[in-house]
Copies of this chain bind each other. A is one copy, B any other.
């Protein structure tokens, strides 16, 4: 008995869903069935938003943040502190930092980290323009906010070397316990860093 196959368009759609993060073949199948049951307007809106995201969203020419205009809202803003630049791995991180509402400087999005696994090399990162921005002389401090992972650390180290001779302070985000964490659940490395980075809270 020959096996019953899905129509080819259906198979293609399942394959597309499978390329999404965290989606296995069962979930992809469920999603494709859902598409079958959605009304035509919703599906065509879905398809066109996919294309629009790919075609309309570029990187800000100054900082590399994703944006549908040539320069992003943050670079265009005149109420931000232009002497501060926070260097992050991806646009995602900018939105996370903006939600924290604790930062009013500018950003620089690398769109990647130096990685031997994914094969990203230094040239592929948005680094030349960072050096250019620093050379312009307005920036006084560069905050390295890459993730506290091996790749993030290597990238931070590389950038600090790159900016060594420039007239600019280079800082790194603090390590320590995440707020709301329990000491006994924290890993040793984090505890060590939290101890090293301890701060005085009384003046005696």
Point out residues on A near B: beta carbons under 8 Å: 1, 3-10, 12-13, 15-16, 19-22, 27, 29-36, 38, 40, 42-54, 56-57, 66-68, 73-74, 79, 90-92, 94-95, 98, 101, 104
Contact = CB atoms under 8 A, between A and B. Distances in A.
4 closest residue pairs by CB, A with B: A9-B52, A7-B68, A16-B46, A12-B49
Given A47-B50, A51-B43, A34 B20 contact: yes
A60 B38 CA distance: 18
Contacts of A13: 49-50, 52-53
A142 B46 CA distance: 39
A34 B50 contact: no
Contacts of A34: 19-21
A94 B33 CA distance: 13
Contact of A57 (B3, B10, B22, B51): B10
A102 B44 CA distance: 39
Contacts of A98: 3-4
Given A1-B79, A20-B31, A47-B51, 8 more contacts: A4-B94, A4-B95, A7-B56, A9-B56, A19-B34, A43-B54, A44-B54, A47-B48
B53 A35 contact: yes
